[in-house]
Structure 1
Amino acid sequence: MRIGELSKRTGVSPRSLRYYEAQGLLASTRSDTGQRHYSDAEIERVSLIRQLFDAGMSSRLIATVLPCVETPADPGTVELAFAVMTRERDRIDADIVRLVETRDALDVLIAANARHQAEFSTTPGTAARSA
């Protein structure tokens, strides 16, 4: 099938499909006129690539994990994919901790600002100063 049909069948834009191919995530054959042709198996591969992107993985990490699909019986490949995904999950967990700490620090500042606004609006004569 050509790129337009793969795009339609997967819901992934032709531009993204070309990017996947440039990153080594997807393969096609070329016609004499240079048009890309994909096998039906590429539909499932695109779906897996989307799942990996949706899980927060970069194309570089996805390229590391995909050989697990191609050679599922190779223990070394399976272990590498597992290690990559585990490290990525740990990185995301650390990011979540940092984001929660950042949000909590911002909440402290928001509360201080709210107290300041409340004090300012109840102080006599503030309406005259703000006018």
Structure 2
Amino acid sequence: MKIGEASRVSGVSARSLRHYEDEGLIVPGRFSNEFRDYCQSTIDRVLVIRSLLESGLPVRLIREILPGHTDGSDTGTDRVCAEFLHEVQGYRDRLAARIAVLRDQQAALDAYLRQARRTDL
């Protein structure tokens, strides 16, 4: 299918599809006129990519896991998965630390606002 139909079927913009290709996340086929040709397996891969991006994972991590995860080979899969899970855990821990800082900042602002409202009375 051409990029317009692939966009409609996947719910991902044509621009995003081109970006995924530029990032090496997908490799669509080509028609004889050099238009992109998206097969169902590429669309399935796009849906996985979209889900991983929405979960907050950076493209670098997604690029590392997808080849071993979707090419059908089991070569080194356990090692790749263990390394990937370690990196995802690290990413999640950094995210949790940032959330904790933001919660502290929010609490400080809430306290300030409560105090400011009391002095207005």
Q: TM-score range by the shorter chain?
A: 0.7 to 0.9
Paired with 1:20 and 1:49, the residues of 2 have a C-alpha distance of 8
- Find the aligned partners of 1:40 and 1:99 in 2 and give their Cα distance: 38
Displacement after TM superposition at 1:38 (Å): 1.7
TM-score, normalised with respect to structure 2: 0.82
Q: CA deviation at 1:101?
A: 3.4
Determine the structure 2 residue equivalent to 1:87: 87
Task: Tell me, in whole angstroms, the C-alpha distance in 1 between the residues paired with 2:27 and 2:93.
Answer: 33
Name 1:39's counterpart in structure 2: 39
> Aligned-pair RMSD on alpha carbons?
2.0
Alpha-carbon distance, 1:35 to partner: 0.7
Q: Which residue of 2 aligns with 1:53?
A: 53
Deviates more, 1:104-113 or 1:20-29: 104-113
How many residues of Structure 1 are paired with residues of Structure 2 in the alignment? 120
Secondary structure at 1:66's aligned position in 2? helix
Change (3 A) 1:71 1:35: same
Task: Please give the alpha-carbon distance, in whole angstroms, between the structure 2 residues aligned to 1:12 and 1:79.
Answer: 31
In structure 1, list runs of 5 or more residues that go unmatched: 123-131
Cα distance, 1:51 vs. partner?
1.7
The aligned residue for residue 74 of structure 2 is 73
